[in-house]
Chain A
Amino acid sequence: MTLHPLVSMILHRLALGLLTLFAISLFIFFAIELLPGDLAEEVLGQSATPETVEAFRRELGLDQPAMLRYFNWLGGVVRGDFGTSLANGRDIAELLAGRFANTLFLAIYAAAIAVPLSITLGLLAALYRGSWFDRAVNILTLTSISFPEYFVAYILLLYFSVTWGLFPSIADFGSDADLSTMLFRTFLPALTLVLVVTAHMMRMTRAAIINLLAQPYIEMARLKGASPVRVILRHALPNALAPIVNVVALNLAYLVTGVVIVEVVFVYPGLGQLMVDSVAKRDIPVVQACCLIFAGIYILLNLGADVLAIATNPRLMHRK
């Protein structure tokens, strides 16, 4: 039985992604072994008696060999059991579930605005290359790339929330809010992410299109008298789809990290804030779980980008 080339390609990439995730899980787990002492000594501090350390070690299962602990941990993770938090003894999976949904909501909200906006702007900048519009957009995006996320966030907060009182400064919408309340309360964090991500995406879209415009077949289209808009939309865009899809995925992956800072500024109960809190408390099992989830999303997005890029480019599909 021969599979469709696209299907076999997807399977191949999926296997590669799983392998990467496995390697990362190894790293996440064994990074702790690099500590001079072990987790129990590190968490309890120097004042702890040897007996407490020993008891804590047994409680964490540290008296077992590392390999065994790793497979126990991995087995648990696969079944959705991340263990319990060191700080408050709560079940980590339970802790993560709601927050994961919140983070995903915020990221999708931002992406839904940023992706169409930045592709349109990128196309326009490429179309009017060298004009004042292009130059203004170039300076603006270069500036916004250089801004720390929290700088953008606080400026928005200062104007939209404090000075004009349009939007709430704290994005937590409670447990049972309807969609419009959710969209309203998370508008400022979403807008921050949009501003940060759009700049990247727009610049890369513009570069991808301009790269293509140097090709001979574009020159040909121009010479035969096609209008600039037609050259961009009919001739350049279909071939630029692959790089643009890549750019979009890359930046959605970037959203994953941007979310950490933005969640802290707007006190949004997401995965990023949980992770930062847990790092401060050195609640390592929670940090490991968050790290694994972020890595998983990141790999999945890159995988999606690869597949889409190849699917939109027939030439890549028949490569031998």
Chain B
Amino acid sequence: MTSISLKSVPLTALFGIVVITGFLLTGLFADLLAPFAETEIVGMEFEPWGGDYLLGTDNLGRDMLSRLIFGARNSIGIALATTVLAFTIGTALGLLASVLGGLTDQALSRLVDMLIAIPSLVFALLLLSIFGTSILMLVLIIAMLEMTRVFRLSRAVAMNVVVMDYVEAVRLRGEGLGWLVRREILPNIMAPLVAEFGLRFCFVFLAISALSFLGLGIQPPTADWGSMVRDNAALITFGDITPLLPAGCIALLTVSINFVVDWMLHRASGLKD
């Protein structure tokens, strides 16, 4: 990768990088940054901003700012784990389908076609109602649904590589599946997969926060931005913007990632319009 001078980075992407780094650091050092513990009840319910509690307290009297800081760790951490899982499964299956072809490819592709034929939020709701709501189930269900998109992309880009002469040569040389995938195909399809990772993370993050907002995702007392909006939503009717803070954090993070990905895709496609 060529070195990028700071000047060539557009303002939006620069903004994105700064914000993403900020959120990651907040999540990592949540223990040091937060004035109170994650689930500690420190005062009355819905205390106003200022004084001991910079952003007031929530519906149970927990410090809003501390919850927001711990929320960064929980919400981003869980979404990241889900995305990594979705990518591992999706890429593995996609490569398998493209390398083996034939019946394996047909079976996997038809299965994915069917999973994609239902809106994923609706699907997630169905599975959650069957398996109940827990963080593990949430991660598994969302990873399975997002895996389908990763599968499609990795299969499509790997298909272009599989037909190359050098892959044929490696096959004739008698190398196994592992070598073929790791040494020949993966290095050639890394770039689109990395850009996709950013986009997928946004989708996963929004999906989990939407489910948490509906009360079906990350369960209390874990501090999580989606469920924090739900818990404090009643304040909106009094013109208080506190419940919008966690939602704003979600929006800010996804906007930032989108800005960075947009710029990366723009650079990768070589478009200069």
Q: Which of B209, B226, B248, B251 has the most CB of A within 10 A?
A: B251
**Interface range on chain B: under 10, 10 to 19, 20 to 34, or 35 or more?**
35 or more
A270-B118 Cα distance, complex, nearest whole Å: 19
Contacts A20-B114, A35-B131, A163-B239 given; does A154 touch B247 at CB 8 Å: yes
Residue in B117, B119, B129, B247 whose beta carbon sits within 8 Å of that of A256 in the complex: B119
Q: State in angstroms the CA–CA spacing of A151 and B119 once bound together.
A: 21
Chain A interfacial residues counted at CB < 8 A: 54
Set of chain B residues within 8 Å of A265, measured between Cβ atoms: 233
A24-B213 CB under 8 A given contacts A31-B126, A154-B243: no
Query: Is there an interface contact between B128 and A279, defined as CB atoms closer than 8 Å?
Result: yes
Closest to B12 in A: A139
- Distance in Å from the Cβ of A153 to the closest Cβ of chain B? 9
- Are B122's CB and A261's CB within 8 A? no
Q: Is B236 touching A154 in the complex (CB atoms < 8 A)?
A: yes
Q: How near does chain A come to B2, taking the closest CB pair, in angstroms?
A: 24
With a cutoff of 8 Å between Cβ atoms, the chain A residues found around residue B129 in the complex are 278-279, 282-284, 287
Q: What would be 10 A-B contacts, judged by CB atoms less than 8 Å apart? A: A23-B117, A142-B259, A146-B251, A154-B229, A256-B119, A260-B122, A261-B213, A265-B233, A275-B122, A288-B126
User: Mask for A256-300, Cβ within 8 A of B = 1, else 0?
Assistant: 110011001100000000011011101110011011001100110
Chain B residue nearest to A278 (CB atoms) is: B129
Are A162's CB and B239's CB within 8 A? yes
Q: Tell me, rounded to whole Å, the shortest Cβ–Cβ distance linking A193 to chain B.
A: 14
Would you list which residues of chain B between 2 and 17 have a CB under 8 Å from chain A? 12
Query: In the bound complex, do residue A28 and residue B243 qualify as a contact, i.e. CB atoms below 8 Å apart?
Result: no
A20 to B243, CA, bound (A): 41
Contact, CB under 8 Å: B210 / A148: yes
Question: A145 an interface residue at 8 Å Cβ cutoff?
Answer: yes
Min distance, Cβ B128 to any Cβ of chain A, angstroms: 6
In the complex, A142 Cα to B252 Cα: how many Å? Answer: 11
A275 contacts across to B, CB distance below 8 A = 122, 125
Docked complex Cα distance between A31 and B126 (Å) = 9
Question: Contact between A280 and B126 (Cβ–Cβ < 8 Å)?
Answer: no
Smallest beta-carbon distance A136→chain B, Å: 12
Chain A residues whose C-beta falls within 8 Å of the C-beta of B120 in the assembled complex: 257
Contact A295 B117 (CB under 8 A): yes
B residues less than 8 Å from A148 (CB atoms) = 206, 209-210, 213, 226, 247, 250-251, 254
Q: How far is the CA of A162 from the CA of B150 in the complex (A)?
A: 42
Q: Is A70 an interface residue (CB 8 A)?
A: no
Chain B, range 50-64, C-beta contacts under 8 Å to A: none
Given known A-B contacts A129-B273, A130-B273, A295-B122, A20 and B127 have beta carbons under 8 A apart: no
B127 contact set on A, CB distance < 8 A: 31
B219, chain A: closest CB distance, angstroms: 12
Bound Cα distance from A154 to B213, whole angstroms: 12
A41 to chain B, nearest CB (A): 12
0/1 interface trace, chain B 219-260, chain A, CB 8 Å (1 if under): 000000010010001001111010110011011001101110
- Report A-chain residues with C-beta under 8 Å of the C-beta of B117: 20, 23-24, 295, 298-299, 302
> Are the C-beta atoms of A150 and B118 separated by less than 8 Å?
no
